[in-house]
Amino acid sequence: MIQQESLEREDDKKFNDLAVFVDEDKTLHIKTQIVNRRDNEDLRKPLLLPPYHEVILKLIEYYHKKNLHCSLQILQNILREKFWILNGRKIIRKVLSKYVICKRSSSKRLEVDSCPLPENRV
């Protein structure tokens, strides 16, 4: 349903670098490089999702809270086990920027200028 609203055609410009195919349920999936691995079907062929949809933003928030405010890269890897979100890194960064806890843990150190040495130490 989300795909029908946001993703028009299978041969869209967004899909040039991706191996997109239509499933028997008429949903778009991505063929990953681990097709021959005997693993979960979702991992081998994740569901293709649009980036800026309200449901997708809520999905990212849900997985972020479920995994105790994990970092961007960890969250992206968790989501990629089932879903392939277009512009995933960018949209995950946008969602994580809303959380003060996450901003605090990823903030840069404050650098203080050192004071000049006293004359007796020069």
Local structure of residue 18 (DSSP, 8 states): S
Q: Spell out the domains of the chain, with CATH numbers in brackets.
A: 2-99 (1.10.340)
Contacts of 122 (CB under 8 A, 6+ apart): none
Task: Report the pLDDT averaged over residues 8-19.
Answer: 64
Task: List pLDDT tens digits, range 22-45.
Answer: 888 888 888 877 766 777 777 788
> Could you tell me the two tokens for 93?
């960064």
How many percent of the chain have pLDDT more than 70?
84
The DSSP element (H or E) to which 49 belongs, if any, is: strand 47-49
| This prediction's pTM | 0.75
Q: What are the pLDDT digits (tens) for 60-76?
A: 999 999 998 888 999 99
Average of pLDDT values for 100-109? 72
Torsion of CA 55, 78, 92, 108, to 10 degrees: 150
